[in-house]
Structure 1
């Protein structure tokens, strides 16, 4: 059954006339008659008594009940999907978010809490993975958006910088000076698995110091990395804001990256990445609003860490 036919059927029942229905729907009476005949053929029953006024048969009353529900659901869904500015509590559905683990641990909790307060009917799913894996998941449509290091290289993805992080060297012992190349060669770096953007910065930093083969041990989880660094197992390269939050818990120490090359490698932008805005769901629009993302401008103001407090 076509929604157009159901709308005409509803109009005839409400107006008591094929002619009145045609006027309300800005069409000709023969078009209304044809759609009603098509509906009756589809359901295998007479739906209207052709009297004056026209009224529904028992079968017609049954269909009218469902027709109103279907038309109402259609109109509500259309209005919601066409809306770009959602009122509090209006967004409904599931938002599938991908994020680097450091961003998920530090930046997202206050944002997600605020999103849920504004739209209680939103359900959230979070996948914490390295940047390369997140871009693969996003391109395959398994997540709706992702927080990754830097803009996405794929032309079909859209990126907006939302956070700026300073990467620092993390150690289990106080750092009175920056370690030498020999000291780094005698130790290891603890990092996330291959595809992590921070891991790439480790390799670039070591290359700038003339170290061609740095030893990197994959530990996977943030707490494991910090715990092993605190135990003296090796170094890590993590965001300063994250280390400052976790410093008391793990007893780790940190130092800024020295020199021009170090500072160039230290600062990284975390970008909010999605597919084309034309395909966004209402819940994704609500999240983008919260982040200050303008789908047209492709840019956003950095979100303060404590904005949801």
Structure 2
């Protein structure tokens, strides 16, 4: 069993398709098919059900766990040998859409200027998508809201708290007028959206209409144009409110307090590149280090 075979197997397993795996790996489909068949022959067990895509058999599910661990260890070995005082190599960071547009661009720019040898990439997605990528060693770390999984393999490195406010066009002065407007929010899975729904339910409002924008700037501009209301970090609308373009309304802290954590897999190598990134985040934002890295108290939002 070779590492390249495991890499092909893992890609097919995650994509559920020979065609997609071949495209990602840059191989012809027949080569991928042959390598999977060779691996099954070597292990003397089928690894996939071949019905409407490639679905893992129980043996395939077992092998995937080991394949991810083996490939991760090989990648970590390369990183460890290549790590130096001056950060280099790759660094893949995940973030939700709101954080990626509000806090990170300036920080990423400063990091790139300080450490130009690092191949930096930013992957955006919702909380559950980012957690999955951390679990499977697809990214080095991610910023997620205070919702997660009971997984002892994931630790949190930093924490940040912010207040969310209800916002509307400046023409509205009474919060009651805002309750029944469409809400411009991220898609399902956004913790801010979950908190908004919980608060509206406490007001007896269950029929909520949404307009889904996955970009904070677009959300705010939509509110300015009176397309609807929204529920966003207070820091994101300060200038708009000062210019009289937006009206904000505070709601009880039990619904408005939002926490963001930087998470990583406990078995991932904390490279010099990642350590320097964390140091810049701490120095430029209100993120602070967490001494206790127990992450099990956080529960997944569904």
TM range (shorter): 0.5 to 0.7
The structure 1 segments of at least 4 consecutive aligned residues displaced by more than 3 Å after TM superposition are 75-81, 245-250, 291-299
| DSSP-derived class of the 2:93 partner | strand
Distance 1:109 1:153, change over 3 A: same
Matched, 1:280 2:276: no
> Deviations for 1:164-197, whole angstroms, at most 9, x for unmatched residues?
11000010124433226xx523x21110111111
1:140 deviation in Å? 2.9
1:172 pairs, out of 169, 172, 176, with 169
- The equivalent of 1:145 in structure 2 is 141
Query: What's the TM-score, normalizing by structure 1?
Result: 0.60
Query: What's the TM-score, normalizing by structure 2?
Result: 0.62
| DSSP-derived class of the 1:195 partner | coil
Q: Aligned Cα RMSD in Å?
A: 2.9
2:123 pairs, out of 122, 127, 130, with 127
Pairs within 5 Å for 1:240-255 = 240-247=234-241, 251-255=245-249
1:158 pairs, out of 155, 169, 173, with 155
1:199 pairs, out of 174, 177, 193, with 193
| DSSP-derived class of the 1:232 partner | coil
Matched, 1:184 2:179: yes
- The equivalent of 2:39 in structure 1 is none
> Deviations for 1:54-87, whole angstroms, at most 9, x for unmatched residues?
xxxxxxxxxxxxxxxxxxxxx9965654xxxx74
Task: Count matched residues.
Answer: 212
**Unaligned 5+ runs, structure 1:** 1-74, 300-309
1: CA distance, partners of 2:174 / 2:238: 19
| DSSP-derived class of the 1:279 partner | coil
1: CA distance, partners of 2:193 / 2:168: 16
Distance 1:169 1:296, change over 3 A: closer
Larger radius of gyration: 1
